[in-house]
């Protein structure tokens, strides 16, 4: 090496040392910036979300280790391929001696090995990714279903669907990829950097030329990335909710001739969505331009330095080609590491959206065994329901009940009447523990206790729902066959049992005329059947469950008076010791009721026979 080359190399080494010191200063500033953000609360929240993600990640350590080893193996093969490529070029150019064909075959073998390894990794990744995605979604799905119902109703169905599908998928992908990719990228960078330093330390500085720019940009972009992710998630939820609600209510939209209105609303949402995406795209373009420019500068600087080192006989052609390859690897890996920042932000944003749901109050099912034992004890006698001095107010402060009291016993039907909006459906939801009352007592007793009710009793909780059958307002049939709908509440029900309850609900008279009978298909939202037919099917499904207490919330509103009487009489004449509670606007139900309660002044008032007779005649609304 000439004296000039030695001085030049020494100068480059000094520059490299200076570059390393600059990097250390930049990293120190970055650490201080991160600490500041933690104190400000932003990263503290991200850390809490990361810990939540870890609760899932810890179940998949074996898979993550498998991914990591595959990635590291691919890195090792790629680096060995670079070495073999270097030797091949040096052999051809005469800088080294060796077998050209043998070296060429080794290089081909490594490339084939890399291809096979990538295919195996892709296949394994696809299988494991789908498996983990399904498991995490199932877990979050189960948590959503046991979330307090009243809290859950604050979210639109479309928003819940987006959080469960898109955000849960983000979590599953992140769980499998983030930690392995971080380790793989670090391993790739360190191993490539070590090779560069081993062969020529002066090339190492080019690996870090773009780092200060990346660090400065990450500081600027962090907040914008977080805000963009939140905006994108919120817009996705709005779009999903609009689509879901529109297609669910397409009949109403047509009936009111609202087609043009909803098309206009969709176009407005699409306009907002496009505007938001263009904002993101502009930020991405400028980021890409800056990083690409830095990358080009680094690449051309590497080329120039490599040419100079070959011209000065400091390195061989093969070493230069290896350096250029490794320089690209180092630069690319740094960009990959930088790209993990938006990945982390996307993950924590998704985690935060899911945490909003799954960290809401959970329903308490700890009394399941106690309730089952209670049911077995009083199966033959039936079960009575007692409401004592119940108090309930909505979250907005509107009080619905104040010291409300009622009771119902086996082999009895009680009616709950009152103007719309006064609390009939709310009372049913309180009985089902879908809502939590703020005062008073609500409990079940075995049989038909009298006096001070010293018999066995159990408080109403989510666990006691297994003692109720419920027919709500509206159409509640699921898509599928009639038999499948029935077996939702009793999977082992025979055809004879299904037909028996269809007869009790006066539904068999139209089902038996269908070509496929109980195997006839019900379309979405009960399509293919009238409202009255769907109500009778819902009542039959509730009866099939053989629960001791039956709740009918305006469940006969679509039936004619004669059919309504037949259905209610069939229920009362059934030998099963059933307690039946009916909410209704219709006076025709009152004639078959043992007791009639009216909701007045936030209480449940027992009506006398004279007032009931006047209501039946239509004298009192």
Question: H or E stretch including 2?
Answer: none
The set of residues, in sequence order, having a beta carbon less than 8 Å from that of 586 and lying 6+ positions away, is 556, 557, 561, 564
- How far, in Å, CA of 532 to CA of 560, rounded? 8
pLDDT at site 391: 94
List, as one string, the DSSP characters of 409-445.
-TTEEEEEE--TTSSHHHHHHHHTTSS--SEEEEEEE
- How far, in Å, CA of 135 to CA of 282, rounded? 37
Residue numbers in the chain where pLDDT is lower than 50: 1-24, 26-27, 30, 34, 38-39, 451, 621
* Assigned fold of 3-358: ABC transporter transmembrane region fold (1.20.1560)
pLDDT in tens, 496-551: 999 999 999 999 999 999 898 989 988 877 777 888 888 899 999 999 988 999 99
pLDDT at site 372: 93
- How far, in Å, CA of 392 to CA of 510, rounded? 42
pLDDT at site 291: 67
- How far, in Å, CA of 483 to CA of 501, rounded? 12
User: SS3 for 607?
Assistant: coil
Number of other residues whose CB lies within 10 A of the CB of residue 132? 21
- How far, in Å, CA of 230 to CA of 87, rounded? 51
Q: What is the token pair recorded at 218?
A: 């990450």
Sign of CA dihedral 162, 166, 169, 175: negative
Number of other residues whose CB lies within 10 A of the CB of residue 83? 15
Q: What is the token pair recorded at 251?
A: 């009949």
The set of residues, in sequence order, having a beta carbon less than 8 Å from that of 57 and lying 6+ positions away, is 64, 175, 179
In the chain, domain spans: 3-358, 368-617
* Assigned fold of 368-617: Rossmann fold (3.40.50)
- How far, in Å, CA of 204 to CA of 211, rounded? 13
Residue with tokens 């004279």: 610
Phi-psi category of residue 397: left, alpha or beta, with phi > 0 → left and psi -120 to 50 → alpha: left
The set of residues, in sequence order, having a beta carbon less than 8 Å from that of 403 and lying 6+ positions away, is 389, 390, 391, 440, 602, 603
Closest to 346 measured CA to CA, from 172, 215, 210: 172
Q: What is the token pair recorded at 56?
A: 């899932």
- How far, in Å, CA of 572 to CA of 519, rounded? 28
User: SS3 for 501?
Assistant: helix
User: SS3 for 206?
Assistant: helix
- How far, in Å, CA of 606 to CA of 18, rounded? 91
- How far, in Å, CA of 597 to CA of 406, rounded? 8
pLDDT at site 122: 74
């Amino acid at each position: 090496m000439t004296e000039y080359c030695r001085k030049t190399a020494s100068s480059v080494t000094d520059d490299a040392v200076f570059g390393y010191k600059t990097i250390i200063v930049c990293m120190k500033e970055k650490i201080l910036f991160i600490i500041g953000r933690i104190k400000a609360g932003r990263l503290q929240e991200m850390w809490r979300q990361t810990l939540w993600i870890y609760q899932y990640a810890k179940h998949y350590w074996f898979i993550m280790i498998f991914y990591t080893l595959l990635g590291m193996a691919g890195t090792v093969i790629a680096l060995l391929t670079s070495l073999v490529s270097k030797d091949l070029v040096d052999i051809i150019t005469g800088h080294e001696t060796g077998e050209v064909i043998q070296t060429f075959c080794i290089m081909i073998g490594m490339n084939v090995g890399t291809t096979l390894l990538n295919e195996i990794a892709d296949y394994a990744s696809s299988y494991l990714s789908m498996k983990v995605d399904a498991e995490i979604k199932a877990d979050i799905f189960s948590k959503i279903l046991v979330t307090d119902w009243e809290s859950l109703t604050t979210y639109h169905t479309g928003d819940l669907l987006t959080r469960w599908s898109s955000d849960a998928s983000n979590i599953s992908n992140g769980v499998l990829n983030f930690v392995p990719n971080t380790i793989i990228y670090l391993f790739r960078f360190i191993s490539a950097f070590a090779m560069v330093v081993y062969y020529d330390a002066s090339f190492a500085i080019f690996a870090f030329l773009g780092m200060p720019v990346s660090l400065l940009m990450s500081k600027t972009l962090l907040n914008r990335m977080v805000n963009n992710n939140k905006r994108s998630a919120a817009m996705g939820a709005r779009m999903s909710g609009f689509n879901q609600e529109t297609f669910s209510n397409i009949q109403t939209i047509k009936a009111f001739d609202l087609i043009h209105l909803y098309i206009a609303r969709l176009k407005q949402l699409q306009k907002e969505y496009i505007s938001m995406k263009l904002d993101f795209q502009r930020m991405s373009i400028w980021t890409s331009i800056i990083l690409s420019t830095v990358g080009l500068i680094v690449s051309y600087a590497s080329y120039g330095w490599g040419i100079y080192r070959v011209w000065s006989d400091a390195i061989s052609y093969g070493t230069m080609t290896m350096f250029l390859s490794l320089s690209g690897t180092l630069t690319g890996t740094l960009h990959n590491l930088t790209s993990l920042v938006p990945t982390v932000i996307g993950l924590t944003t998704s985690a935060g959206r899911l945490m909003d749901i799954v960290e809401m109050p959970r329903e308490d099912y700890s009394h399941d065994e106690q309730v089952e034992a209670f049911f077995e004890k009083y199966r033959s006698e039936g079960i009575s329901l007692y409401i004592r001095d119940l108090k309930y107010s909505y979250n907005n402060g509107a009080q619905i009940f104040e010291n409300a009291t009622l009771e119902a016993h086996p082999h009895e039907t009680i009616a709950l009447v009152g103007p719309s909006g006064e609390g009939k459906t709310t009372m049913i939801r309180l009985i089902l523990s879908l809502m939590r009352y703020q005062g008073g007592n609500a409990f079940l007793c075995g049989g038909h206790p009298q006096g001070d009710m010293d018999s066995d009793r159990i408080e109403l909780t989510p666990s006691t729902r297994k003692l109720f059958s419920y027919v709500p307002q509206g159409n509640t049939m699921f898509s599928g066959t009639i038999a499948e709908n029935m077996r939702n509440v009793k999977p082992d029900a025979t055809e004879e049992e299904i037909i028996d309850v269809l007869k009790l609900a006066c539904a068999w008279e139209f089902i038996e005329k269908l070509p496929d009978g109980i195997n006839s298909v019900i379309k979405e939202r009960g399509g293919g059947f009238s409202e009255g037919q769907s109500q009778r099917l819902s009542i039959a499904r509730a009866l099939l469950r053989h629960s001791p207490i039956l709740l009918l919330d305006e469940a006969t509103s679509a039936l004619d008076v004669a059919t309504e009487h037949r259905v209610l009489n069939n229920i009362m004449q059934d030998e099963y010791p059933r307690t039946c509670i009916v909410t209704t606007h219709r006076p025709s139900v009152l004639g078959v009721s043992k007791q009639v309660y009216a909701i007045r002044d936030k209480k449940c008032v027992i009506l006398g026979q004279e007032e009931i007779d006047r209501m039946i005649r239509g004298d009192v609304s």
